[in-house]
Amino acid sequence: EWEEVLSMIREVTVGAGESSENNLPMTDDVPSDFGRVIPRAFFERNEGGWRNRVKIAAARAEYGEVKRRAQTLAKTVAADFWGISTSDHHDDDTKLLWWEKMNLSLTGDAAVANSIVVQDIFNNNLALRDVPSWARTTLDDGSYAKPPSSYSHPRDRNGKLLLNRYTTERVEVALSDYLDACQEAKAGVTLALQSLSGDIRDRGRLPCIVRAAAANLIMTAVAQHASASLSAGWEAATVVRDEGHESEAGTFAGLWPYWMDGSESVPNTFRLDGMVLLTAPNMSGKTTLMRSCAAAALLSACGFRAPLRKRGSTIRRFDAMFVRGASADVPTEGKSAFGAEMTDICAMMECCGKRSLVFVDELGSFVLIRNEA
């Protein structure tokens, strides 16, 4: 069943370590790039959201249209913004692409693309800061290399003129065509994924996907815990069954708070046997020790490492764990702090038994004896 689902997924999507169209690695499905002609961030912004999600064959027409429109846009920008004709870079025998050859010809101030072509991330637009100097150059016949009148102010997404930016009609048309192609590609990728989801649903394979997702989540958590616990210096305790004294909860060797670095805390070694009453001044660490002990017992019961500095810790396997901290009034339930505490203690008495680990912190701390007498 899983092999069938995996085969269906691989027909549409590309996984890690696989190859995409024409055996090209997945990393080749990257946003368009024309070097200094157009800022690379512009293409990443418009293509990064839908690339590397499906195989090229799943949206071949849309991918091809984006490539063609991006080429047209780059050539138009090269001609109208940079004043360089792409046809001037096709007559040599080198294997460089036209824009690679053009980049080699850009020197001086023109080598810095950001000083000429400006990407407007708010309006998703490309423009110039000013009419380029080469456009004002007069030719032998007295005409301009490109009439300054052909440059106009672009409009923002609200239709307002951007008076500090310049563009041409050809660039605006090529830009609009490219953005439309990107939207169609995004829709095509979405449609391919929706079609895959529909096929999996129609064949009754959704339960398999859910089980695989749950297993992946569990294994990811286990792997991350193993990595983090090893780097933190945690140790694994020995979990024992109900052998020996039923009242003994276990021995905790070198326990420290799980939220602290082991080198910055004071470890505690102790044995829990029967009911333990812990008393000490305020801010001495009673609650910290209780929470650390409960966390270590829970982690050990799950087979994980715990914040135990020394080997030799033995912790009993419990059928239930109950941790109750201090509380306050609960007006929404019509209970005082004492009433809320007694409700929790009642639930504890009903659910916990002799094989349970119970922690109760500051029971009745909000009750003023003098006022309640």
Output the CA–CA distances (angstroms, integers) from residue 78 to 19, 98, 119, 253, in the order listed.
Answer: 33, 10, 15, 71
pTM above 0.75, yes or no: no
Query: According to the model, what pLDDT value does residue 101 have?
Result: 60
How crowded is the C-beta side of 286, counted as CA atoms within 13 Å? 14
Q: Is the pLDDT of residue 1 over 90?
A: no
The CA distance from 92 to 103, in Å, is 15
The CA distance from 26 to 159, in Å, is 39
Q: Are 79 and 85 in contact (CB under 8 A)?
A: yes
The CA distance from 338 to 297, in Å, is 28
Q: What is the DSSP letter of 29?
A: S
The CA distance from 304 to 236, in Å, is 7
pLDDT, tens only, 216-273: 999 999 999 999 999 999 999 988 876 555 667 889 999 999 999 888 888 999 998 8
pLDDT, tens only, 53-82: 999 999 999 999 999 999 999 999 988 988
pLDDT, tens only, 249-259: 889 999 999 99
The CA distance from 23 to 274, in Å, is 66
Q: Which one-letter amino acid corresponds to residue 147?
A: P
The CA distance from 339 to 352, in Å, is 20
Query: According to the model, what pLDDT value does residue 93 have?
Result: 47
Q: Residue 351 corresponds to which tokens in the numbers above?
A: 């659910």
